[in-house]
Structure 1
Amino acid sequence: MSLKFLKKTFVELVGVDSPYGFEEPMIRHFKETIASYVDEVLETSRGNVFGIQHGKDDDAPTIALAAHMDQVGFVVFNINERGFIRFRKVGGASNRAIQGQQVRLVTEKGPVLGVIGVKPGHVTPPSETNIVPGIQEMYIDIGVWSREEAEEIGVRVGTPIVFNARPLELANDLITSPAVDDKTGLAVLIAVAKSLKEEAVPATIYYIGTVEEEGGLRGAAVALHDLDVDVAVAVDTAPSGWQPDINMKDIVYEVGKGPAIHLGEMGRKSTWIYHPRVRGWLIDSADAEGIPYQSSFQLGGTDASAMAQTRGGIPTTTVGIPRRYSHSPVETFDLKDMDNLVKILVAALRGLKPGFNLLRS
């Protein structure tokens, strides 16, 4: 897959605002885009989208590749009499990445631009200089003089908000952008479907765009209930290290060294080891093709956590694209890592044939 196609697809996805809980524009966009490369497209009332490529062998396993359509963002919580807006997070944006940022309020009357206010240093006491305010103390200025004026241009309690930033290309095929998590994953699904469109592989493939991952994996929790799926792979991003403020003892993934094939999830309270057969299938496929990858643990959960607990327990793993500056407006990744993830998945799907052993014994 060309880097040009991947970049174009990603940029188009970033141009569609889809904060957690407000994914409708992306639902429409993903349906329209994936339809060009699959045999059938379905949408559930929950909002999950399924692009289906029917396999040529009924005895081959059926697989789901899932990427989430939502992005971290915010929502209007209150508008005061002067038109300043209090807001809350939808998803896990870091407070340190929020202050002073430009934002876009997605109203029914069109986008409204604003900035997240910053207390001037001239009046900030020394005791507060190095303190990051809580979200309850932050506010948005959209340039109006009253609550009524804000409401006249479409701003209401409940209006979704996203960072007002666009993708920029850095050196060495690195891209910096908001919503890298998980619009890179959606771009990978589209690229894999495009690669296999004219090729009748044995397995039936479901390309799934899920909703509401950032607030608790809610879309993935129900996505596979009514599907006869043998294997599931979540396609997401992975926090990376190798930058000045992150120690290798905390994160070992590095941008530009290949996509991540995770061994499992390592959270604050528990660790989950992914299904060894599924993980091994992806690693063997990458090794056979000489495609670079990295393998360690995902910090935090992905849609795989929810899909693995569907029905009788679906064998599941996660792959990801390493990115710096997680959940900020400047998440940064390498297009070559995305390309290599597409190559690994295409190679693995071509080899998914009847007799694929999922038993752990």
Structure 2
Amino acid sequence: MSSQQQHINREFLFALLREAAPRGFERRAADVWKREASGFARVSEDHYGNVYAELGPEDAPAIALLGHLDEIGLIVSHVGDEGFLSVLGIGGWDPQVLVGQRVRLLAPDGDIIGVVGKKAIHVLDPEERKQASRLEDLWIDVGLSQEEARARIPVGTPGVIEQEPLWVGDKIVSRALDNRVGAFIVLEALRALGGEDLKHRVVAVGTSQEEIGSYGAQVGSHRLRPVAGVAVDVTHETRQPGVSEKKYGVVPFGSGANLAVGPLTSPVILRQMIAAAQEKEIPYTLSANPRLTYTDADTMILSRSGVPAAVVSVPNRYMHSPNEMVDARDVRACIDLIAAWVRSLDAEPDFTR
């Protein structure tokens, strides 16, 4: 095992990544997260698919740490001739990355594996070969007749890419790193705070349905009434070809936790996090967010009378693909920075801008 692999709780992270948990169907990942949390925290859940783990005084105001459990997926819209399945996207798919992939369908009577089909290059005419694949031109083949497929795979059956997590060199590669890694980070940050006399009630939340609008964060924030919060997600690693550092900031692998800077996020928490990072020598970078952050922070910030919040992100390559990639050093930096920030807070912090 390399030194980078030793930086994080690999067994827990890989267990989370293996579970199929598309938007609205987060149960399997939520169960792994809850089981891990129950070993050191008070655990609960709500009707909407959010799971909660908390430490600190039960009657104190909450500081919320949000990381979403859902991943982009597919949903069956039609069973056609020969049992071929038509699907719609749950979240933002580039259809090019689906071609030829295996898919796990969460059918009512047990999972079914299928493959994404497309006309072979041999039978494409010259003009078709120049065109990008569209989702409506693809299908899922489960090797069943139309009658069998309709009996076993009703319309509305969700699915995800079938892909195991693995190490490639010193990098973690998997589907669903956006944002199962964020849910992992908030719980590991909470774990890092355990065993100390906490001044605050700190609640890690594995949220649901971020990929279509951060609805789980909206429900969870309303429930918790936090006085401050952090959303953890992924951002684009900027040394990969085609990603502009002028737009996304200088965010290479190994650069640590990426902090969002913008009008929606709290400048007070940002200053506190930078101070904590500098004091503890935790690497970090900054990225500009001129409007929305497109994370769970956007709905948390506007919950009830408003929640001062920050966004902490992990550099990620190949986002929304079957093989996303992150660096364990950056995951570790995010965990350490969030824990250091919570420890640095006064008993009654003032987040007034």
Note whether the superposition's TM-score is higher than 0.5.
yes
- CA shift, 1:193, in A, is 2.1
8 A Cα contact 1:55 1:200, kept in partner:
no
The answer as to 2:189 corresponding to 1:192 is yes
Is the 1:7–1:335 Cα contact (8 Å) retained in structure 2? no
In structure 1, the partner of 2:261 is 263
Query: What is aligned with 2:234?
Result: 237
- Structure 2 match to 1:268: none
Moved more, 101-110 or 328-337: 101-110
Partners of 2:214 and 2:349 lie apart in 1 by 28
* Candidates 199, 204, 209, aligned match of 1:212: 209
* Structure 1: runs of 5 or more not aligned: 265-271
| CA positional deviation for 1:56 | 9.2
Give the aligned length. Answer: 347
C-alpha distance in structure 2 between counterparts of 1:123 and 1:3, whole Å: 45
- Structure 2 gap ranges (5+): none
Measure the CA separation in 2 of the matches of 1:151 and 1:178: 28
Deviations 1:13-64 (A, max 9, x none): 01221101111222322222212121x2221112211211124995xx6310
Match status 1:33 vs 2:24: no
Shifted more, 65-74 versus 18-27: the winner is 18-27
Partner of 1:170: 168
Deviation at 1:2, TM superposition (A): 8.2
CA RMSD of aligned residues (A): 2.0
CA distance in 2 between partners of 1:275 and 1:249 (Å): 23
SS in 2 for 1:96: helix
Q: Which amino acid aligns with 1:75?
A: I
In structure 2, distance between residues paired with 1:68 and 1:85: 28
Work out whether residues 15 and 32 of structure 2, in 8 Å CA contact, stay in contact via their aligned partners in 1.
no
2:324 aligned residue (314, 328, 331) = 331
Check the 8 A contact 1:62/1:230 in 2, yes or no.
Answer: yes
Contact 1:291 1:344 in 2 (8 A): yes
- Deviation of residue 211 (structure 1)? 0.8
The 8 Å contact of residues 229 and 308 in structure 2, kept in 1 or not, is answered as yes
Question: 267, 280, 284: which is aligned to 1:293?
Answer: 284
Is 1:105 the counterpart of 2:105 in the alignment?
yes
Find the partner of 2:9 among 3, 6, 22: 6
Residues 131-151 of structure 1: CA distance to partner in whole angstroms, max 9, x if unpaired?
21221221111122x221224
Q: CA deviation at 1:113?
A: 1.2
Structure 1 stretch displaced more, 123-132 or 322-331: 123-132
TM-score by length of 2: 0.93
TM-score under structure 1 length normalisation: 0.91
Q: Distance in 2 between matches of 1:110 and 1:283?
A: 48
Cα separation, 1, equivalents of 2:191 and 2:4: 12
> SS at the partner of 2:333?
helix
Structure-to-structure mapping, 1:243-254, within 5 angstroms: 243-252=240-249, 253-254=251-252
Residue 167 of structure 2 corresponds to residue 148 of structure 1? no
Instruction: Select 1:274's aligned residue among 265, 277, 298.
Output: 265
The worse-fitting range, judged by mean Cα deviation, of 212-221 and 194-203 is 194-203
More helix by share: 2
Q: Which stretch of structure 1 is more off in the superposition, 158-167 or 195-204?
A: 195-204
Distance 1:57 1:85, change over 3 A: closer
Contact kept, 8 Å, 2:257 with 2:331, in 1: the verdict is: yes
Corresponding residue for residue 305 of structure 2: 312
Deviations 1:283-320 (A, max 9, x none): 11111111111111358500000000011111011101
SS at match of 1:76: strand
| Contact 2:182–2:233, Cα closer than 8 Å, also in 1 | yes
On the 8 A contact 1:56/1:202 being kept in 2, the answer is: no
Q: Which amino acid aligns with 2:210?
A: E
Q: Aligned letter for 2:98? A: I
Instruction: State the secondary structure of the residue aligned to 2:147.
Output: helix
Read off the aligned partner of 1:277 and give its amino acid letter.
V
Contact kept? 1:263, 1:297, Cα under 8 Å: yes
Rounded Cα–Cα distance in structure 1 between residues aligned with 2:37 and 2:229: 18
Q: Counterpart amino acid of 1:198?
A: G
SS at 2:253 equivalent: coil
Q: Distance in 1 between matches of 2:295 and 2:160?
A: 21
Q: 2:247, 2:346 → 1: CA distance?
A: 38
1:250 deviates by: 3.7
Secondary structure in 1 matching 2:33: helix
Q: 1:352 matched to which residue of 2?
A: 345
Q: Find 2:224's aligned residue among 217, 221, 227.
A: 227
Give yes or no for contact 1:203–1:353 (8 Å, CA) kept in 2. no
Distance, in Å, in 2 between the alignment partners of 1:251 and 1:192 is: 25
Q: Which residue of 2 aligns with 1:96?
A: 96
Identity of aligned residues (%): 31
| Distance of 1:159 and 1:115 partners within structure 2 | 15
Counterpart Cα distance in 2 of 1:250 and 1:318: 17
Pick closer, same or farther for the CA change 1:166–1:157 going to 2, 3 Å.
same
Distance in 1, Cα, partners of 2:33 & 2:109: 23
